[in-house]
Amino acid sequence: MFSFRRPRHFGNNTHCVNSCASGRTPVTVPAQGRAGRRTAAKIALALAPALLVAAAATGRAQERNSAPAAQTAGQSDSAQAGQDQAAQDQNAQAQETPAQLSVQERIRQRRAQRRATAIHDAYDHLFESYAGMGYLRFQPGANKQRTTFYGWNTGLARYWSERFGVDVDARGYYGIAYTGQIPGVTNASNTRPKISEYNVLLGPTYRFYLQPKFSISGRVLGGFGLGNFSGDTNGEGSTTFGLWPDGITYAGAGSLVGQFNLSPGLSMRLTGEDFVTGFGSTTQNSFGFTGGFVYRFGKQ
């Protein structure tokens, strides 16, 4: 027969059940024969829901605690992957940069070589011959106004390098001098006599700026000039008209020469210069220019 007698330790067991449900104390079940076993079974049935709830709560807490760690781990993995990719890109750039620089350097070298070859082809000739026209503003007498000389110009230059040579220059100028009326000598029909001048000059020339298509040179020439100022004075003589006396005098020129190459052997030439003569035991500074074509031949 079953006994409804209250167990001796029922109060203590109830306290243990409540403590165990809250997770504060371990489950202790008194073992006192059959009554103890029945009490333990009842305690287990009473604790089962509480234990399930506690296990669920513990699982949720662990999930909440593990989620930030997993997220942090994911972010760390992403950051590490980004750093690895950046390092790979830097390594790739470091590997490509020397190759790119090498290609650009080869391109620059080829351009420099082509430029040097073009310069050598154009300026490595032994001789330059030129011919063209000239213009000069010349004072024909001590008290006379300047007149315009038009003339021809030709020459030959011998070069010992691409830059340095010696130039032989010849030219002739022609113009009309205005003398004005001289009482007892001139009238309205003979106040404009024709005059002329011829020069032969020699001097060094130096190319100080070279490009495949053009060059700029400096030149200094010295020589002599022949003046013919009385040929159109009807035998009166040049001094009667106030012009320089006929004769031979020194001549010189300081020139700046520019050339534009049409081909390695042919170019156009323009020369601006200060031309100096010494007619009448005085010095005449005349400014003008010459221009024409240049033909190069021979190899140094």
Q: Give, in order, the Cα–Cα distances in Å from 114 to each of 58, 59, 107, 195, 210.
A: 83, 80, 11, 51, 14
Give the percent of the chain with pLDDT over 90.
Answer: 48
User: What tokens appear for 245 in the block?
Assistant: 């006396």
User: What tokens appear for 180 in the block?
Assistant: 């004005």
Give the separation between CA 228 and CA 180, rounded to whole angstroms: 19
Structure confidence at residue 27 (pLDDT): 46
- Say whether pLDDT at 142 is over 80: yes
**Cβ-contact 214, 260 below 8 angstroms:** yes
**Cβ-contact 293, 286 below 8 angstroms:** no
User: What tokens appear for 240 in the block?
Assistant: 């009667």
Report the candidate in 257, 249, 193, 251 with the shortest Cα–Cα distance to residue 221.
251
Count of beta carbons in the 10 Å neighbourhood of residue 134: 23
Average pLDDT over residues 202-223: 96
Structure confidence at residue 232 (pLDDT): 84
pLDDT in tens, 108-117: 888 888 888 9
In the chain, the amino acid numbered 234 is N
Give the separation between CA 292 and CA 130, rounded to whole angstroms: 7
Topology, domain 124-299? Porin (2.40.160)
- Say whether pLDDT at 94 is over 80: no
Average pLDDT over residues 25-41: 56
pLDDT in tens, 118-139: 899 999 999 999 999 999 999 9
